[in-house]
Structure 1
């Protein structure tokens, strides 16, 4: 009926980065029994649909497709079942904002600007503004920001991951205050993956009794392939100690938060034999819960 579902739904993306013979497609994962249901098959020119994010309550999945060598933003409407070109090119990555999608767009050999699309009723074309313009420091290549989607951590930070190409990653944080243009570059981390995620934590340390949104990284250690979930400390601008670990290597992370009693971080892991595994880390119970099946996905994303 065109309305967003009351509950979050988990989707899996099979694209050209999946390293599988499975058809490139978008699937819905039933969180009750783990069964997948095909939503749409990706055409040949859509097969690299990646860095997929969701506009809250829009029933749209936005991702990047490369058309004639140009990285463009396309959305798939899960309710009305159609694709749309969002009219934005030269996009490095997409980010989940608190009420919008934020695109990081290349405008020169070392500069980016941000473009946004709002929540429902959302604008289909993205607004671009020079109020959010950043010059990357020496040592951070534009292409290094294209591997994973980013996110808005707190109210004023955009958290990205830079792939250094030598089993090391660097946290990259953009200041979201207008006309700031500031970029913080963290220390390189020896890892085979550094995947941004968002979550909700108690705000007692920030002077409020409410829960607040914050960001973090799933770190896949280069020495043993173990995944560590770490919050990004906005005061020290560094990673906190892990609050959860898992023996397998993570490929993708998404958050499902109905309320403060049902907060789960869903992680797509490499499997031991064939297929990949999805586990949810319950932030209330502080344990891992498996979604029972093997999956061919390269990315997962929550939407409603």
Structure 2
């Protein structure tokens, strides 16, 4: 006979003939072992075994049966598309190491300068011009680093949770320490210290109260206020006399005025932000109920 009947592939005689074929030998027109239903493409290592319903065993790059697919691939992900365990550990290590970046180090320096400034400011009774000059140097370094750390963090993507918390604390700590020391030494009226510190603490609390509705952005007036406060307090830290002492009085007056005006503006923004947030939530609830 020159051909195989159509019933040989599915009938009893075909089954007996397939069983009688030795393993590893091929019949004309068939595959080794007579497994005509099994397809395997040599050029495709990941080809599936249609008879077994999975990946063929022994093919390079395939996953053996019964073994988990959590094997990292070339792009650092496992068989399910999730980041490999080693990648997660490495990413966590990088995140922890990023805390020690240049922006955070400058913030830490400001925190360290606070007690150093107080010690220099109050040294020898607090009226020695030399010690006051050293205190001014510490205050100036703290204010300059305040200008750079935020810029570096935003420019080079160095923003961390530590920086978000420590940076405003360091800013208020050095300014508060300077104002309190000046008032203790009777160089600055206590009401000025109360107005400036009360505004800073009040605005910080206000930001937390309305954070559920949004964030109050820093305004140009707020930045000008910070700069004017730094210059005014720095001039009071130095033992100035004559026309410089008169000039620092007017600079401090401008700082107090900016402190009050910008504080009221932040209150206005907080009220508007809260009203908008409440209105949006109410509209969303009405839309869900409709």
> Which interval holds the TM-score relative to the shorter structure?
under 0.3
TM-score, normalising length: structure 1: 0.21
Instruction: Name the structure where strand makes up a greater proportion of residues.
Output: 1
Instruction: Name the structure where helix makes up a greater proportion of residues.
Output: 2
Higher relative contact order (CA 8 A, sep 6+): 1
